Amino acid sequence: MPPVSNEPAAPPARRAVVDIGTNSVKLLVGDVIGDVVTPLLEQSRQTRLGRGLYTQHRLLPESVATTARAVAAFHVLARECGAGAVRAIATSAAREAINVETLIEAVRVAAGLEVEIISGEQEARWGFAGVMSDPRLHDQTVLLLDVGGGSTEFVLGRGLEVRFRQSHRLGAVRLLEELAPADPPAATDLARGRRAVALALETALAPALRPALNAFGAEAVRLVGTGGTATILAMMARGLQRFDRDAVDGHVLSRGDVAERLAQLWSLPTAWRREIPGLPPERADVILTGVLIYDAVMACFGFDALCVTTRSLRFAALVEWPPAGARLERGSRPAGG
């Protein structure tokens, strides 16, 4: 029998990650012991960093400034919450912008943080690791769907084993700019959107994903959604006025629920969508294409239900610490691990 140690367990490392996305900036502050994260604070601010990116391939000065201010505010908030170390990561918009150095410098000046631009593969890997840190999913086979502003990550696996992983340039903001629907949207706008997403899925994703799904045989694969669109779908279903982790986490939407919500959203003008309980007013436009992507994936691959999780790539970013070869903050180093 191994000896019992009387030494006290190591205290958790309190860390924070600021996630700079195409549509919003998100903050997670958590206590970390090993690979277990206890979330303490989560916030999100829409900054639309990717506005206009897909026509000009450049980040707009006002979007960069707004994003840098949000990062700075979250850095202060993280420190007030006792975070001993803070990192900033950036995803799709930063990967594609030809002037991304303007964002890096703006965040450096405003927040004193060095931005880590992660690859699409890293984004998908972290997303899966973060979601599968939920003990309820440990023994399940999962297709993770993370609809972002500029890209969507698809990861299929069970436990720590990943069978399929792909980052697809199909994001809610990108698709909204491409479709440019009327306000209120016309029936032809929705039809165009359905065709565009179905074509993208069938040509670029299905040839590889379907065999991977079929390889599990009769074993049920659970569709799990993470990110803003999935969270808002759950919030609308429950009529929540503000984010409530306990109410959102694990909420299940049927195929019919998603289809009905899609039809409702695409039938209303933006002003009316802003009044829907659970839908943040500032996301009343981009929710159209976010839900469209979820609906199309469920239809394309035959999923009857969508399970919403509040876990994300940010959980994995807190565990994989410190970031290799990166300075987190000028004049400091990671504390507490």
Q: What is the mean pLDDT of residues 247-275?
A: 98
Residue 104 CA to residue 175 CA, distance in Å, equals 25
| Exposure b/e, 15-52, CB count within 10 A at least 16 = b | bbbbbbbbbbbbbbbbbbeeeebeebbebbbbbbbbbe
Among candidate residues 78, 149, 151, the one with its CA nearest the CA of residue 120:
151
Distance from the first to the final alpha carbon of the chain: 30
pLDDT tier for residue 8 given thresholds of 50, 70 and 90: low
Compute how many other C-beta atoms are within 10 angstroms of the C-beta atom of residue 253.
23
How many Å separate Cα 150 from the centre of its chain? 10
Please report the pLDDT score of residue 324 as a whole number: 52
Tokens (6 digits) for 233: 């779908």
Residue 3 has pLDDT above 80, yes or no: no
Average pLDDT over residues 295-318: 97
**Pairwise pLDDT comparison (55 vs 237), residue with the higher score:** 237
- Give the tens place of pLDDT for each residue, 180-208: 999 999 999 999 999 999 999 999 999 99
pLDDT digits (tens, 9 = 90+) for 31-64: 999 999 999 999 999 999 999 998 889 999 999 9
Q: What residues contact residue 172 under an 8 Å CB cut-off, 6+ apart?
A: 23, 147, 148, 149, 229, 286, 287, 289, 290, 293
Residue type, 291: V
What's the mean pLDDT in 16-23? Answer: 97
Domains of the chain: 13-120 (3.30.420.40), 136-310 (3.30.420.150)
pLDDT at residue 217, rounded to an integer: 74
Reply yes or no on whether the pLDDT at 82 is more than 70.
Answer: yes
pLDDT at 331 over 50: no
**Average pLDDT rounded to a whole number, residues 236-265:** 97
Amino acid at 288: L
